């Protein structure tokens, strides 16, 4: 049986066909505004290349940086209502207080704080007020907002109030999408709420995107199940991604790192993935991305769901360049490089133009870039090299001369040495993300507080593991293949009843 | 250098880093406090700072801050005026007017609470604190050690409750009563302690620790900006000592009496290749041993930093495989006296066999 991995980047859409450990075919097509055409083009290419029997494809795995890019570029975000259940607590810092202004404006900076929320031990801070929530829902309706994020204090311990608040508001807003913070983040209300609001602002885009993927697969005659990859290198169903688009955040870097490891055989390295819009730098430890130990910024917003430790900079193959004064990015022409880039007859100078102008790559027409003069081009390239070096140095974990794995469609921008580190460009490097997607597994995760009164630590861990395993099986994992990926228990200081927070994740192979 | 007179918006990021470093692994995260200070400044309020030596003899100074579980502090954030209500309750109880506030604990979250409360009340905050670092219990501060009685102490929660602890047998009992009350409050509340006279504060406070936190934070920021080694930058500035760079190879944490207790084992790399370090922790990092021999212990500061970024790592985010730098910073002489060591020396933390051997002080 074959697996197809697809990666939709800001600029290119890649596809690979793998069988076991062998890559049978790889193809690359431009990402299109409708997403679908690009997916269809690259799928057609790999299917034609291999003369694949479509009935023998067991699954298609799609990785997409679509949602991350939407946040980073502040595009396609829907106006969102944030409702925090907390009063009288937690009013000193309103929702979105620590967001950069531009993205806060983009999602509307619309919020309410209402009665509700729990204490750490499950007592109510105050009861839900149905009239208050109905009034808020009416105001949301009047503003024409269709996506609502609900966040209650201590919802990771008890999510009842978030659910009840959703039911109350849904009576007034039957068409609205609700995102509950307890389903996304961990303890730490600001970061979890941030993640929930961001998720809510992406729901409309996720409906469109998932629908487009389904139509794309159908149109090339693939009838197998398809999955979207999430940021731990595992897979989610399409229903799931429509509800939780933020879980795709950083799935691109995860896929590219796992793919780069698979392709190069290197287990410890720095991976630099240059896409069309951004460059992601991560560290591979034993073939897996090093996880971020603390909160993670997405487009300048702090969030706290589990992610790989990735440092992103706004530098890609389609990044716009101003020459006077020199300014690289942060905007990118993305997939419109084929219309707007100088090398394709457009009038926007991009990083790829610079690479082509310096003879580092041979695509399109180098003449318009060359017209800038070698001195200017060299100056710009030096600035680009410095941006890459800074990012690599930031992620480097030791003075050891571990290799830099250069992947992604824009990796022609990476010099042969980054500082003192040698650069390896693995075979199929341009489609590492798609390979990483194709090798995705199914996971199950638990993150909540257990009381150790009448329960030993080992019993609590076993209970958590059982819960995670059941989740993984329900999501489509082969029971006998399930193993523990990661487990962590943190005792909570100053709390009675020996409360401990257990985070645990299992992974298994996709059944079929 | 000029004395610190006011804290501005652009100082808050550095203060956050510095306060976390002085937290020696505990003390709670100062991030939320930083945001709250920023909100106060946005409202046009000011954080005025009074240098310790300019505090008048008869000024009434109150040590106040948040009390509770750090994990609750980042989830059930405050209504906003808990500390102010606790302070007003004290004024009412004693029929006095409070002139200035001071932090009991510069390390961690309680570096920020007195600043933002001072801004709300329109009074200055004193440049100094009662620990010079973080400790797990309230009586472990210089106010209590040098003879101040913390009662009456007033507590407030977000729901409007005010509790005054009028009198207790001793300072430890204040901590016990307050701790019991704060559980009922939902493990997050504010406490303000019996006012101190200016002349006592001048004698008993660890001096200029807001300035110290600010400078520590600025050193890390400067290192980042100029691509210097942040660890080296901190040591040069603070007269500290790099104990080891290494990787966490074993980590054990469990609960004992409501505290996170445990050990971290570190395998050295670089200049420390072949050595094994061990840190004992009780909310904060307490003891550092190299190859089984105690080298640094409380009250001296054991600081764990991310080996690459120089940013501090707290006990709850320690992970297996993390690459860390372990630093020791000298504690202030006020923490090293026989009466102080009774309360905050190794024996007070259950290590009667360890003798406190002070590391050389800054500048010596």
The secondary structure of A67-84 as a DSSP string is HHHHHHTT-SPPPEEEEE
Q: Which two tokens stand for residue A452?
A: 């150790």
What confidence score (pLDDT) does residue A493 get? 54
Contact: A153, B316; criterion CB under 8 Å: no
Residues of A with CB under 8 A from a CB of B: 86, 88-93, 97-98, 117, 119-121, 123, 125, 153-154, 187-190, 285, 293-294, 393-394, 396-399, 452, 457, 488, 490-496, 498, 500-501
The pLDDT score that the predictor gives to residue A285 is: 77
Report chain A residues whose CB lies below 8 A from the CB of B75: 120, 153-154, 187-189
Token pair of A244 as six digits? 């939780």
Residues 6+ apart with CB under 8 A from A385: A415, A418
Give the closest of A154, A294, A498 to B76, CB-based. Answer: A154
Q: How far apart are CA B208 and CA B211, in angstroms?
A: 5
Instruction: Please tell me the pTM assigned to this model.
Output: 0.81
Question: Do the chains contact at B69 and A492, CB–CB below 8 Å?
Answer: yes
Q: What is the DSSP string of B113-137?
A: HHHHHHHHHT--EEEEESSSS--SS
Distance CA B111, CA B31 (A): 11
Burial (CB count within 10 angstroms: exposed 0-12, middle 13-18, buried 19+), residue B75 = buried
Contact A287, A260 (CB under 8 A): no
CATH 3.30.420 fits A80-202, yes or no: no
- ∠ at Cα B202 (B197, B203), nearest 5°? 100
Work out the end-to-end distance of chain A between its first and last CA atoms, rounded to an integer number of angstroms.
9
What one-character-per-residue DSSP string does A137-179 give?
Answer: HHHHHHTT--EEEEEETTTTT--HHHHHHHHHHHHH-TT-EEE
Q: What is the mean pLDDT of chain B?
A: 92
**Nearest CB neighbour to A496, from listed B32, B36, B258:** B258
Q: What is the ipTM of this complex?
A: 0.89
| Residue in B closest to A452 by C-alpha | B255
Q: Tens of pLDDT along A409-454?
A: 788 899 999 988 999 999 888 788 899 999 888 888 887 778 777 7
Cβ atoms of B125 and B45 closer than 8 Å: no
Report chain A residues whose CB lies below 8 A from the CB of B78. 89-90, 92
- Contact between B115 and B47 under an 8 Å Cβ cutoff? The reply is yes
Distance CA A281, CA A234 (A): 20
Q: Are A81 and A110 in contact (CB under 8 A)?
A: yes
Residue of B nearest to A490 (CA): B316
Q: Do A494 and B70 touch (CB under 8 A)?
A: yes
For chain B, give every domain's residue range.
6-209, 231-349
For residue B12, the model assigns a pLDDT of 97
At B121, the pLDDT band (50, 70, 90 cuts) reads very high
Comparing alpha-carbon positions, the chain A residue that sits nearest to B323 is A397
Q: pLDDT value at position A314?
A: 86
Q: How far apart are CA B32 and CA B18, in angstroms?
A: 15
- Return the CATH architecture of domain B231-349: Beta Barrel (2.40)
Stretch B160-174: mean pLDDT: 95
Q: Which of A136-140, B223-227, B346-350 has the lowest mean pLDDT?
A: B223-227
Pair B239, B330: CB distance under 8 Å: yes
A472 contacts A197 by C-beta, under 8 angstroms = no
Run of H or E including A408? none
Q: Are B205 and B130 in contact (CB under 8 A)?
A: yes
Q: What confidence category does residue B364 fall into, taking pLDDT thresholds of 50, 70 and 90? A: very low
Task: Assess contact for A247 and A241: CB atoms under 8 A.
Answer: yes
Fold type of domain B6-209: CV3147-like fold (3.40.1610)
Q: What is the pLDDT of residue B29?
A: 83
**Contact between A125 and B76 using a beta-carbon 8 Å cutoff:** yes
Residue of B nearest to A449 (CA): B71
Question: What contacts B284, CB < 8 A, 6 or more positions away?
Answer: B23, B24, B25, B26, B27, B107, B133, B134, B135, B136, B298, B315
Q: Residue A324: CB partners within 8 Å, gap ≥ 6?
A: none
DSSP A293-340: SS-EEETTEEE-S--B-EEEES--TTEEEEETTEEEEEEE-GGGHHHH
DSSP A344: G
- Residue A451, classed as helix, strand or coil, is strand
DSSP B154: E
Q: CB distance B78–A397 less than 8 Å?
A: no
Give which of A399, A494, A500 to mutate to test B binding, by max B Cβ within 10 Å: A494
Rounded Cα distance between B52 and B199, Å, is: 10
Nearest CB neighbour to A293, from listed B32, B283, B317? B317
Residue A340 token pair:
């707007």
Q: Given an 8 Å threshold on Cβ–Cβ distance, is A188 in contact with B183?
A: no
Q: Please identify which residue in the block is written with the tokens 């009685």.
A: B149
Q: Which helix (H) or strand (E) element contains residue A195?
A: helix A189-219
**pLDDT, average across residues B120-143:** 95
Is the predicted pLDDT of residue B309 greater than 80, yes or no? no
Which of chain B's residues have a Cβ under 8 Å away from the Cβ of A494? 68-70, 72, 179, 187, 258-259
What is the count of residue pairs from A and B with beta carbons less than 8 Å apart? Answer: 125
Backbone torsion region of residue B261, taken as left when φ is above 0, otherwise alpha when ψ lies between -120 and 50, otherwise beta:
beta
Of A493, A498, A500, the CB nearest to B70: A493
Residue predicted with more confidence, B146 or A326: B146
Residue A269 CA to residue A283 CA, distance in Å, equals 6
Of A97, A488, A496, nearest to B183 by CB-CB distance is A496
The per-residue pLDDT string of chain A (512 residues; one tens digit each, 9 = 90 and over) reads 899 999 988 778 899 999 988 899 999 888 887 778 889 999 999 998 888 888 899 899 999 888 888 888 888 899 999 999 999 999 999 999 999 999 999 999 999 999 999 998 888 999 999 999 999 999 999 999 999 999 999 988 778 899 999 999 999 999 999 999 988 878 889 999 999 999 999 999 999 888 888 888 999 999 898 999 988 778 888 888 898 999 888 788 888 899 999 899 898 999 999 988 889 899 987 777 887 766 778 888 998 877 788 888 889 999 999 888 888 888 888 778 888 988 888 889 999 999 999 988 888 888 888 988 889 999 999 999 988 987 887 677 666 789 999 998 788 899 999 988 999 999 888 788 899 999 888 888 887 778 777 788 889 999 999 999 998 888 888 899 898 877 877 766 555 566 777 888 888 888 76
- The alpha carbon dihedral of B268, B272, B277, B281 has a sign of negative
């Amino acid at each position: 049986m074959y697996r197809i991995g697809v990666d939709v980047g800001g600029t290119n859409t890649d596809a690979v066909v793998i069988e076991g450990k062998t890559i049978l075919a790889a193809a690359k097509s431009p990402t299109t505004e409708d997403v679908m055409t690009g997916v269809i083009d690259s799928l057609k290419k790999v299917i034609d290349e291999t003369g694949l029997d479509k009935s023998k494809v067991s699954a298609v795995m799609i990785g997409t940086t679509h949602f991350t890019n939407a946040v980073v570029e502040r595009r396609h975000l829907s106006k969102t209502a944030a409702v925090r259940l907390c009063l009288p607590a937690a009013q000193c810092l309103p929702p979105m207080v620590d967001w950069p202004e531009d993205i806060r404006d983009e999602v509307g900076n619309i919020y309410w704080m209402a009665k509700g929320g729990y204490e750490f031990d499950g007592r109510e801070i105050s009861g839900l007020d149905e009239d208050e929530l109905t009034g808020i829902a009416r105001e949301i309706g009047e503003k024409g907002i269709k996506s609502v994020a609900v966040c209650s204090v201590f919802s990771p311990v008890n999510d009842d109030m978030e659910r009840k608040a959703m039911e109350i508001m849904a009576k007034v807003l039957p068409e609205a999408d609700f995102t509950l913070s307890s389903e996304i983040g961990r303890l730490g209300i600001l970061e979890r709420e941030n993640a929930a609001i961001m998720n809510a602002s992406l729901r409309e885009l996720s409906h469109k995107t998932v629908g487009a993927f389904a139509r794309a697969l159908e149109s090339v005659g693939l009838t197998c199940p398809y999955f979207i990859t999430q940021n731990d290198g595992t897979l989610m169903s399409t229903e799931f991604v429509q509800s939780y688009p933020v879980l795709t955040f950083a799935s691109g870097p995860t896929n590219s790192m796992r793919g780069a490891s698979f392709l190069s055989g290197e287990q410890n390295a720095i991976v630099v993935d240059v896409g069309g819009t951004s460059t992601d730098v991560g560290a591979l430890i034993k073939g897996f991305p090093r996880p971020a130990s603390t909160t993670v910024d997405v487009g300048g917003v702090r969030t706290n769901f589990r992610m790989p430790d990735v440092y992103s900079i706004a530098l890609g193959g389609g990044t716009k360049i101003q020459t006077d004064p020199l300014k690289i990015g942060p905007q990118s022409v993305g997939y419109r490089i084929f219309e707007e880039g100088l090398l394709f007859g457009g009038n926007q100078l991009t990083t790829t133009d610079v690479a082509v102008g310096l003879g580092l790559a041979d695509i399109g027409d180098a003449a318009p870039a060359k017209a800038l003069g070698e001195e200017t081009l060299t100056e710009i390239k030096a600035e680009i090299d410095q941006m890459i070096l800074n990012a690599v140095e930031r992620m480097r974990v030791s003075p050891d001369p571990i290799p830099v794995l250069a992947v992604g469609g824009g990796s022609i921008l990476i010099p042969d040495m980054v500082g003192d580190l040698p650069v390896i460009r693995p075979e199929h490097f341009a489609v590492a993300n798609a390979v990483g997607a194709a090798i995705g597994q199914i996971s199950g995760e638990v993150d909540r507080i257990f009381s150790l009164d009448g329960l030993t630590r080992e019993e609590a861990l076993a209970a958590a593991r059982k819960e995670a395993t059941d989740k993984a099986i329900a999501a489509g994992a082969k029971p006998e293949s399930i193993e523990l990926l990661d487990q962590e228990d943190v005792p909570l200081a100053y709390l009675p009843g020996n409360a401990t927070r257990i985070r645990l994740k299992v992974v298994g192979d996709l059944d079929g | 250098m000029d004395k610190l007179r006011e804290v501005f918006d652009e100082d808050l990021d550095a203060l956050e880093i510095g306060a976390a470093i002085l937290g020696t692994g505990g003390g709670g995260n100062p991030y939320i406090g930083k945001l709250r200070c920023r909100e106060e400044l946005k409202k046009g309020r000011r954080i005025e700072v009074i240098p310790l030596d300019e505090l008048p003899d008869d000024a009434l100074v109150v040590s106040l801050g948040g009390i509770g579980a750090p994990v609750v502090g980042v989830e059930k954030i405050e209504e906003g005026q808990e500390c102010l209500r606790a302070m007003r309750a004290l004024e009412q109880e004693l029929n006095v007017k409070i002139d200035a506030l001071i932090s009991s604990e510069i390390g961690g979250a309680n570096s920020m609470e007195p600043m933002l409360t001072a801004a709300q009340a329109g009074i200055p905050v004193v440049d100094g604190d009662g620990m010079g670092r973080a400790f797990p219990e309230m009586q472990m501060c210089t106010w209590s050690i040098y003879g101040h009685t913390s009662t009456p102490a007033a507590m407030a929660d977000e729901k409007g409750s005010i509790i005054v602890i009028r009198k207790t047998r001793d300072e430890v009992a204040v901590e016990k009563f307050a701790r019991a009350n704060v559980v009922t409050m939902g493990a997050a509340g504010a406490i303000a302690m019996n006012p101190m006279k200016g002349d006592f504060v001048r004698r008993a406070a660890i001096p200029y620790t807001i300035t110290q936190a600010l400078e520590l934070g600025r050193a890390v920021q400067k290192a980042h900006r100029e691509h210097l080694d942040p660890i080296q930058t901190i040591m040069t500035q603070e007269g500290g000592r790099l104990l080891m760079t290494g990787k966490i190879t074993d980590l054990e944490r469990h609960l004992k009496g409501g505290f996170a207790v445990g050990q971290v084992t570190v395998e050295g790399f670089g200049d420390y290749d072949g050595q094994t370090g061990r840190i004992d922790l009780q909310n904060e990092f307490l003891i550092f041993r190299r190859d089984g021999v105690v080298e640094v212990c409380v009250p001296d500061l054991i600081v764990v930093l991310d080996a690459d970024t120089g940013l501090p790592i707290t006990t709850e985010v320690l992970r297996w495989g993390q690459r860390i730098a372990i630093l020791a910073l000298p504690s202030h002489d006020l923490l090293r006296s026989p009466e102080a060591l009774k309360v905050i020396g190794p024996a007070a933390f259950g290590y009667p066999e360890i003798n406190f051997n002070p590391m050389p002080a800054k500048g010596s």
